[in-house]
Structure 1
């Protein structure tokens, strides 16, 4: 008994192609993000209103991506 699906699968065997593909990271998500990608997205959004706008990495961007730690401002002791 012939199975057309099996014959088609054999005729279009991608095993060699799949074996040559470079392996991607096992796990990747938006959490933690990619700083360059996020800054580029911000720049693109900013250029909608201002075509000459330039966007750069800010301290807030670096903090949001865990590349910098926020500094705490020292508070003066209470005079009480």
Structure 2
């Protein structure tokens, strides 16, 4: 399945608890679309968030974010895992 990294450049009011809650919602909604939001990274100071996601395609990854919490990424890039 394709792997993507999405980037949210500025999530206003970002906290560790808020991003954990959004990720939890992604995990709840994702399986019905064949999507797995695998990991996330964030910086509270800048409001920047990165999400690593397995999805059938980019549009489906976006759909899960939209349905789960409405926070759409500013960028979505196909990536490959390295060692």
* TM-score for both structures, normalised by structure 2: 0.28
* TM-score for both structures, normalised by structure 1: 0.28
**Structure with more of its chain in helix, by fraction:** 1
**Structure with more of its chain in strand, by fraction:** 2
Q: Which has the larger radius of gyration?
A: 1
